Structure 1
């Protein structure tokens, strides 16, 4: 079995994907259940995501969902991967995380991203434009200032109960976002593992331009990607089928659907374009047996110098998903938490 550098951490991001035949409330309840499972397995963090108006994703309010996860667990760190800052006022985000940290002290992470709404209609509903992402650095500085009491955008206004609290911030980034994280002196969460050259270039840029800050004295890199583990490589690849088809459908029909069973997908008629997108969606992810996955992740950690791996896996069969996380925990040598 492969070995990892001392101190390497493994964490989980769940996007609250819906399955055919189930509703969104069930997907949210299953996210909370999964959090309890991965906590017991010894994972370091459990994060939830933000998506608005996407049919196949139930997680639209990550700080609310994080509160439910934190209340159902006791030791795993809980956070967001992430709150999309262009969609919100920084004061409100600070207040929400201040409440979370007050209720669950020492366990909350603040993962922040720069994406805007999925479609023009969603952006209009949120009251945001595409160019809001261009102001991410400015908004991020304001957000951090609400915690330190040093923000200057709104004199004599204070974020309660956030001011004075220490909620670890992380920047979710691709490309130029790595430079924003470095300039702010914040930990970087970056993916995915499939585009290795681009990933390595962004990580190198981040480390080279990192400026120490009150939030982080040195660079901290979290690499994120899809990982699937099963008894055989073929079974692990099959776990990737529902998400690959969902992506192919969304890119040809404009709608992101609920996950379907692999056996149904495998007999579906596909256009040439859909077939190409579907096959591409299956390639490059870390998948296989425990030994194969451990070796692949060890290689990724060595190449990137990452201190942490954030795993996200979406598949139709929830029992197989749980088993994948159990196998991964064993493969990378996590120590189970004793209740």
Structure 2
């Protein structure tokens, strides 16, 4: 089987709010982006979950995924990610099963724990669920996706229940785990789950994480098979490299601006080092994206996507196609990706 038959390329709808935009504008753009991605030939659409920060205005990946499943007909829709320890894991499993049934099997559940921020104080049951709750929450979710579930621990305690609507016959809901550390790689591997890797990982780091996952999965007794690991990438088509850099730099600027709004509950490394001038951080983020992500003229986008897929071993690609920031620019980018980039990427991968 060629790589081309294994790879799925998706649009990552981040619902990113740029300065001066309303939440209504951003969410409408997100819906339009998902529909444009389906029309352009993307395989998947992925959505996020963010709370109490201005950059991502979607507080419920599951709700938004359900809405997009109803507004599309062929693409798969997944969460990247549902912040699992913030929520009841059994309720997450029920909602995932519901979306799977309603969509005829087009839903993917991506989960993770995100950052130890104020979300765990306001929505969750305390920062200890960030510190040690993910493995148990993940196990409860996986159990609830397949049948009866109960719990008796310091974090979760409830009598046995049978979640409804339950799994569709012969069609388990795919589950992905966001991995950003050795512990999360091991957690995904021992549960036999594929990983979702973030923008900041270079190709060699992603390949090493996937190799580590393969060894740990074998040791845990899972079949030695190819896992459909995913990677997030910035993706923007622009004939002029200077224009492409301007688009990326604007997105980096908004990311840095938004990062100042995160309110951590633990002493962890900040997303943006307050001791470094913001302009230097923005330039560094821009340089990193311009060097390896599919940003720039179509031929560069093709080369970078193919290199990322070949080199990393990832078989799911989450293209952040919204970095232009404005409605018309985003939809134009999605259209160009579908016409000028995706067909050539698939042709090259299918030839291997």
| TM-score after normalising by structure 1 | 0.84
The alpha-carbon distance between structure 1 residues 226 and 184, as it changes in their structure 2 partners (threshold 3 A), is same
Offset at 1:47?
1.2
Matched, 1:304 2:302: no
- Structure 1, 76-85 or 321-330: larger mean CA deviation: 321-330
1:198 equivalent among 197, 205, 216: 205
Contact preservation (8 Å) 1:78, 1:108: yes
Question: Does 2:50 match 1:42?
Answer: no
Mapping for residues 13-32 of structure 1, pairs under 5 Å:
13-32=12-31
**Local SS of the residue matching 1:144:** helix
8 Å CA contact retained: 1:192, 1:199? no
Change (3 A) 1:192 1:316: closer
Q: In 1, are the aligned partners of 2:78 and 2:110 still within 8 Å (CA)?
A: yes
Confirm or deny: 8 A CA contact 1:147 1:164 kept in the other structure: no
Q: SS of the counterpart of 1:240? A: helix
- Contact kept, 8 Å, 1:110 with 1:170, in 2: the verdict is yes
C-alpha RMSD of the superposition: 2.7
TM-score, length basis structure 2: 0.82
State yes or no: 1:104 paired with 2:114. no
Kindly report which structure 2 residues correspond to 1:163-174, keeping only aligned pairs within 5 A, or say none.
163=167, 166-174=172-180
1:274 counterpart = 2:283:
no
Distance 1:194 1:148, change over 3 A: closer
What count of residue pairs does the alignment treat as equivalent?
Answer: 316
Q: For the residues of structure 1 that align with 2:24 and 2:70, how far apart are their CA atoms?
A: 17
Paired residue secondary structure (1:180): helix
User: Does the Cα contact within 8 Å between 2:167 and 2:173 map onto a contact in 1?
Assistant: no
Q: Equivalent of 2:186, from 164, 167, 179? A: 179
Specify whether residues 124 and 88 from structure 1 end up closer, same or farther in structure 2 by C-alpha distance, changes over 3 A only. same
CA distance in 1, matches of 2:160, 2:90: 13
Partner residue, 1:160: 164
Deviations 1:196-228 (A, max 9, x none): 333222121112222588999642221222122
Q: Give the match for residue 262 of structure 1.
A: none
Match of 2:272 in 1: none
Q: How many Å separate the matches in 1 of 2:174 and 2:222?
A: 11
Unaligned runs of at least 5 residues, structure 2: 152-157, 264-274, 347-352
SS at match of 1:182: helix
What is the CA–CA distance in structure 1 between the aligned matches of 2:224 and 2:336, rounded to whole Å? 32
1:135-171 C-alpha deviation (Å, 9 max, x unpaired)? 2122111101012115342443111113456211111
Tell me the residue number matched to 2:251: 243
* 1:126 and 2:123 correspond: yes
Match of 1:142 in 2: 140
Distance 1:195 1:74, change over 3 A: same
Deviations 1:210-268 (A, max 9, x none): 258899964222122212221122222221122211223345x4369xxxxxxxxxxxx
